[in-house]
Each structure stands twice: as C-alpha cells, then as structure tokens.
A and B are shown apart, each in its own frame.
Chain A
Amino acid sequence: MRLLLGLLLAILVNFGLFTLMQRMTTSDGLEDRTIEDVLLLDFVRVQEEEAPPETKRRQPPKKPKPPEEPPPPPPAQTPSPEQPDVPQPQLQAPNIDVPMNIAGGPHLGEFQADPVPEPVPTTSQPIMDDDVMPLVRIPPNYPRMAQRRGIEGVVTVSFIITKDGRVRDPQVISATPKNVFDDEALKAVLKWRFKAKQVDGQPVERRATQEIEFTLDR
C-alpha cells in the first residue's frame, strides 16, 4: 500500500526532475543568454567608440614653391663689332649634345665643328655629317693653383679626330684667362675617344673644336 503510494509520488517527482532536465537541455535558455550577450556586446562596442584608435595621417610634404623665373635678360645693347670683310668658309657645324654625367667636374662646352679649310676646288663638296660622337669624355683635372685662387675660365681646344677615333694635335685656340687651364685641357682632350667619321664606308680624319669650361663648385 505504502509502496504503491510511494510509486505514484515517485513517478510525479521523476516527472518533475526530467522536466527540469529537459529545460536544461533545450535551447530556450540559450536564446535568453544570447540576448544578454548581444547587450554586452553593445556595451563593449560603445566603449570602443569612446576610445577610437588614433591614426596619424602622414602629412605629405608640401611642394616647394616653383622658383621664380628670373626676369628676361635685357637685350644686349652692345653694337656688333665691325666685321672685316673676309670671306667666311661656309660649312655646316655639327652640334653635339652630349649628356655629362660626372658631377662636380668642369663643364665641358658644346662641340663645334671646326671650320675646315676650304677643300680643293677640284674635289667634290665634302659631305659633313653632324655626328661627332664622343665615346669617352674624361673631364680635365682642375689645376691646383687655379682652384686655390678661385679662378674660372674657358678654353677652346681644336683637335683632329683620327681614323681610329683618337685625338691628335690638340691646340688651344683661345683661352680666358690665358695659360692657366691650357695644359690640363690639352691633356684631357688627348684622352678622349670619338667615333670615327665615316665617308663612303671609309673612316676619315676630321677636325673639331671643343670648348671646355672650368667652373668651381660652390
């Protein structure tokens, strides 16, 4: 009798227990928990918004102002000197535009085809092509004495380019100031190499002038 009553009640109790277990296993509580989590997340997010990581944006350096253009030089007023009435040889001068890569050296002026003396009238008109092609250009040494005294100058050198591209018979045509830079200029010119001029497939000697500027770096 008592056992029967106990059995009935025990079934009730176990029903309650297993209902509890079922509640624990189902995801109803999980949903509530996720809602709480969302709120927590919100809170965290708000905190993050309060202190955003400071990002330093790199300021690009400002462009330097373009240098003001120098005023155009006043037109030279010097009267052209009276030209003596001398027949000028009519020759085309090849113009060499060679980049000078070595910095700090004396500036080498532009090439200029030397006026070749009038050829013999019997021969045909020589064909002058413009390419005086320097292969090696060694800047001259700045003379010690001139460097010490701060002298700058220009030397114009005339020389002959041989068939194999070497330089022969350099001569100083004009120099300002005189006798300061001549030796160095001649020495330097002698080391230069050119591409020999070709006339009808044959290398030909030719004459050329070179202006060598001696300027000091400041």
Chain B
Amino acid sequence: MTDNLFQIQLLMESGGMVLWLILIASVLMWTLIIERYVYMFFRHPKEKREVINHWNQRHDRRSWYAQQIRQGMIAENRIRLERYLMLIKTLTMALPMLGLLGTVNGMIQTFDVMTVFGTGNTRGMAGGISIALITTMGGLLTALSGLYFSTQLQQQVTRTVDNVADALRRD
C-alpha cells in the first residue's frame, strides 16, 4: 500500500502540474458520482415514499390545481435527482481536455529544452514527453472511468422520474 502510494507519487512528479489538476477533477467527479448513487439507492426511495404519501393524502387529485401541484412535486423530485448530473457530465468531458492541456504543456517544455540544449539533451526532452503522454493517459483514463457512470446515472434519473410520475396517480 505504502509502496503503491510512493509509486503514485513518482508518477505525479513525472506528470507535472496538469496531472494534479486531473487528479482533483477526477476526485471531484467520482465524489459526485458516488454521492449520486448513494442518494439514488438510499435517500431517494424514502423521498419517493414521502411524496407518494403526500399525494395520496390529498382528496382532490383530479382538478386543475391538483394537476399543477402534482407537476410541481414531480419537478421538485426531478431537480433533486438531477442535481450534480450536469457537473458530472461536464467533468467527464473536461478530463480529456485537461489531458490535452497537459500534452501541450509537455510539448512546450520539450521544445524549450530543445531550444536551449539542442537535440542533444534527450533526458530533458524525455521529461517533457513523459509529461505530455502521462497527462494524456490520465485524462483519458479518468474520463473513460467516469463516462459509463455518468450516462448510466442520466438514464436512471429519467427512469426514476418517470416512476415517480407514474406513482402519483391522478384518479
């Protein structure tokens, strides 16, 4: 475990600044994803039951007002479900871009080395290239890991909202 941490620290050093950015973005994205799943599986069923109970306690469920109230309840539910979803999507899209940013950064460093030392300093050039490649890999890997869960969350949210709407019967 500690050995692994040490290795990762080495990786972060060879990745440069942008890899830290990627790490932060990835942690944020995964925090939100896990929060969403936790909400969906543990918190949302309770809320759903409360909403249905609240609806069922109403006597008037067919009038225009009742319909409006129902729409409002569903919308509130949807808003609560769709919280952070946009942010997760944005992060999954932004992570490869961050990787590209790291690539450009690394290439700039490589060319800096080349302008100062010429092509003879392969070690310096290798440092820049390793930044470029490692950040690209980090961005792609984290984005790919988040991509499935972000789309899956989107699907599940729409399905759950539909379920809630179906549960609020109009008769």
Residues in chain A within 8 A of chain B (CB atoms):
2-3, 5-7, 9-11, 13-15, 17-22, 24-26
Residue from B11, B14, B137, B142 whose CB has the most chain A CB atoms within 10 Å: B11
A3 & B35 in contact (Cβ 8 Å cutoff) = yes
Q: Among A2, A13, A24, A25, which residue has its beta carbon within 8 angstroms of that of B30? A: A13
How many residue-residue contacts, CB under 8 A, span A and B?
69
Given contacts A6-B33, A19-B4, list 14 more A-B pairs with CB under 8 A.
A5-B34, A6-B34, A7-B31, A10-B34, A13-B34, A17-B26, A18-B23, A19-B8, A20-B141, A21-B138, A22-B8, A22-B10, A25-B11, A25-B134
B145, CB-defined interface residue at 8 Å: yes
A6 & B43 in contact (Cβ 8 Å cutoff) = no
A14 & B23 in contact (Cβ 8 Å cutoff) = yes
A26 to B3, CA, bound (A): 14
A5-B34, A11-B27, A18-B8 given; A24·B137 CB < 8 A: yes
B145 & A13 in contact (Cβ 8 Å cutoff) = yes
1/0 per residue, CB under 8 A from A, across B103-131: the answer is 00000000000000000000000000000
Residues in chain B within 8 A of chain A (CB atoms):
4, 7-8, 10-12, 14, 23, 26-35, 38-39, 43, 134, 137-138, 141-142, 145
A9 to B26, CA, bound (A): 12
**Minimum Cβ distance to chain B for residue A9 (Å):** 4
Residue of A with least CB distance to B144: A17
Chain B residues with CB under 8 Å of A14's CB are 23, 26-27, 30, 142
Q: Among B23, B29, B30, B142, which residue has its beta carbon within 8 angstroms of that of A9? A: B30
Q: Among B7, B27, B35, which residue has its beta carbon within 8 angstroms of that of A22? A: B7
**Minimum Cβ distance to chain A for residue B144 (Å):** 10
Chain A residues with CB under 8 Å of B134's CB are 21, 25
A18 & B11 in contact (Cβ 8 Å cutoff) = yes
A-B contact pairs, 18 of them (CB 8 A): A2-B38, A2-B39, A6-B30, A6-B31, A6-B32, A7-B31, A10-B33, A13-B30, A13-B145, A14-B23, A14-B30, A18-B23, A19-B7, A21-B11, A21-B141, A22-B4, A22-B8, A22-B10
A15 to B29, CA, bound (A): 14
Chain B residues with CB under 8 Å of A18's CB are 8, 11-12, 23, 138
